[in-house]
Every structure is written in C-alpha cells, then in structure tokens.
Amino acid sequence: MRTGNLSDKRGESQRDKNKTPEADVDFIVNTINKLPKYSSHYRREQTETLYLEPGMTVQKIYNLYKTEFAAQEEIAGRKCVEFSTFKKIFYNEFNLRCKSLKKDTCNKCDAYATAIQGYGSKEEKELKLQEHNAHLEKAELLRSKMKDDFERAKVNNNIECLSFDLEKTLPLPRIPTNIIFYKRQLWVYNCGIHAASNEKGYCYVWAEGEAGRGAQEVRSCLLNYIDDKLPKNVDHLILWSDSCGGQNRNIKLTLMLKAALQSHQTLKTISMRFLEPGHIFLPNDTDFGKYESCLKGHQRIYSVDDYINTSVHHLLNTISILTTLEREVGYSSYTWATRVNSESSITTGTKKNGSH
C-alpha cells in the first residue's frame, strides 16, 4: 500500500502536455516565411493579407515543411508535427491566402511586373513602379467613384445609376452528352443592366441567330430600358461599363444616348463613365453569378425560353428578364443620327436648351 502525500490532479488541464514545442512552431514559421508572397494587384491600399503563388496549397506547404525538416541533421530524432497541427499554426500565425490560378489579369499590371522584375536599370524600374502605382490609383479612384454614384442614386430620386455588361456566352443546347463538345453549338447572349435605385438586375436574352453582340444590340437594350423602366422623375442618368470599344465606348452608343436625351420627357443629363481596363468588377458580375448558380441544377436546356424560365423561378426578387432581343428591335446608326439635332454637340451630354 502506497504511503505519503498524494496530490489530487483530477480536473487539471492537460494543455501543456499536448502543446506543440516552441522549437517546432518556430521551425514551421521560418519555413513559411521563406515562401514568396505578393499583395493583390487589384488594390493599392495597405492590407495585411498577402497571397502565395497561384496553385500553392496548405498541403503543398506541409510537404515542403516535411522535406526541409528531414534535411536538418541537428533535429534528428524529433518528429514532424501532424498536418492538423501545421494547418492550425498556418492560419493562426499568418494572414495568407492561396491565390487561385490567374484567369483574366490586367495586361498593364502584367507588363509592369515583368519590367520591374526584369533586367532594366534601377532608374527604369523605378519609373515603371511609379507608372504602375499611378495605374492602380486610377483604377481605385474609378471604383470609388462608381460606388459613390450608386449610393447617390439610392438616396436621390432624381438620379439613377446603371451598370451594364454582356455575360459570357451560354451554349444551346446545354446537355451532358459528350459528343456535344465536338459540335458547333448555338450561343445565347445576355445583356445585363443593374439599377442602383432598387438594387435589381435586368436581363435581355437572345440567340445569336436573332442578333449579334455588338454596339447596336447593347444600345438597343439600353434604350428599351430607358424608355420602359427608367423612373419618370429621373433627370440625371449615370451609366457605368467597361471600356470595350466594340460594345460600349464608341460613337454609336453616344448617338443613341444623345437621341434618348432629346426625346425623353424628364432627362436633362446623361453621364457615361468607364472603369479602368483590367480592374473591372461591375454589379452585373454578381447578377451573372447568381444566374449561373441556378443553371448548375439544370443539365438539359434546349431553348432560350428554357434559360429564361430557369431564372424566373429562382431569382424573381433580384433579377428580372425584361425581354428577348429580336432583330427588329435594333436600330442602325443612321436611325440614331437622324434623331439627333444636327446643331447640338454630341459631346456635351446635356440638352440643347441648357438644362444641366
């Protein structure tokens, strides 16, 4: 029988026994610190979040850690920590994100990054760095301006702010049969318009056999919205889009807006604004994402009406399908030009009578 004073250790924490040794934590931290890290090229403001190389994952970093751990002779006899422990340290000690593989990057940012990391002189690299910073500042300024315009439209009934964009083409038919990928499919187009006043998206859907996807179709969708959906009390319309010359930034769209301004009963000013190329994220992208999420549950779509009906049942409160665009809806550039008063300037953006 045991004798002596025995302390009661029931209820005591076992945390210290399971705690990862500081030496192991330091080794993991040092390993992760050796990895190259980057800030996002889309935002210039200071942020604590850094990004790892595209394709890098926590599992890959753990494998690198094990390789480096095994190569250290002075720590022979010790064991690598488990992946769960490594993962916990990774998220607790660092504010890192494993960046997804790049898809649509900014060509200017890519060119600047290549020049800065290249073999030029120090002065040349410094100049490119300054140009890159100016490019990022402009992109951020335009994003902030668009956000301010949307906020103004929410509180001022006399202002409406719209963003518009074309969604990526949708295949028709949409079926899971493998052979369809080797066939020439019909494409369905969707021109989205997002209104700031009610935070709702509107879609114009048509097939490529009915119309194209150029400036004429985009302006026809905009005109239809201005004529049918724009609140009657609006006197200042602000439009935001990307800088695609074939669809948005061209004389054809300007002529249409001028004609719409002259014929509309309440509109006095139309402002057309563009985001910086390569740094474009419009509210329409969110609308398109919601719509495409609905399509995931529908493997078989055989017509434009099927695409429309898919969204009607799921997105009634956030996205509305206004109409399908038919060939006769579009107008030629000559039609718009004849509606514009020949004495007024195309670049003023205001009515000839001096209204602001």
Q: Are residues 194 and 257 in the same domain?
A: yes
Per-residue pLDDT, 238: 94
Number of domains in the chain: 2
Q: Indicate whether 325 belongs to any domain.
A: yes
Does position 152 have pLDDT exceeding 90, yes or no? Answer: yes
Does position 106 have pLDDT exceeding 60, yes or no? Answer: yes
Question: Containing domain of residue 50, as a range?
Answer: 17-98
Euclidean distance between CA atoms 230 and 232, whole angstroms:
6
Q: Indicate whether 11 belongs to any domain.
A: no
Q: Are residues 170 and 319 in the same domain?
A: yes
Q: Indicate whether 163 belongs to any domain.
A: yes
Share the mean pLDDT of the chain. Answer: 77
Provide the 10 A C-beta neighbour count for residue 215. 22
Q: Are residues 271 and 171 in the same domain?
A: yes
Per-residue pLDDT, 353: 44
Q: Is 129 helix (H, G, I), strand (E, B) or coil?
A: helix
Indicate if the alpha-carbon torsion angle 165, 170, 172, 174 is positive or negative: negative
Domain boundary among 74, 98, 122: 98
Does position 159 have pLDDT exceeding 50, yes or no? Answer: yes
Q: Indicate whether 229 belongs to any domain.
A: yes
Q: What is the pLDDT of residues 161-187, one digit of tens each?
A: 999 999 888 888 888 776 666 567 888
Q: Are residues 317 and 196 in the same domain?
A: yes
Q: What is the pLDDT of residues 273-298, one digit of tens each?
A: 999 888 888 988 888 888 888 787 77
Q: Are residues 42 and 189 in the same domain?
A: no
Q: Are residues 27 and 161 in the same domain?
A: no
Q: Are residues 157 and 212 in the same domain?
A: yes
Indicate if the alpha-carbon torsion angle 246, 344, 149, 152 is positive or negative: negative
**Both tokens assigned to 240:** 């935001």
End-to-end CA distance of the chain: 101
> pLDDT tier at 5 (50, 70, 90 boundaries)?
low
Q: Are residues 311 and 211 in the same domain?
A: yes
Inter-helix orientation angle 22-33/83-93, to 10°: 70
Q: By the 8 A CB rule, do 63 and 18 touch?
A: no
Tell me the pairing of strands 200-207 and 319-324: parallel
Q: Indicate whether 161 belongs to any domain.
A: yes
Per-residue pLDDT, 181: 61
HEC profile of 52-63:
ECCCCCHHHHHH
Q: Indicate whether 316 belongs to any domain.
A: yes
Q: Indicate whether 255 belongs to any domain.
A: yes
Q: Are residues 82 and 173 in the same domain?
A: no
Q: Indicate whether 287 belongs to any domain.
A: yes
> pLDDT tier at 101 (50, 70, 90 boundaries)?
very low
Q: By the 8 A CB rule, do 81 and 28 touch?
A: yes
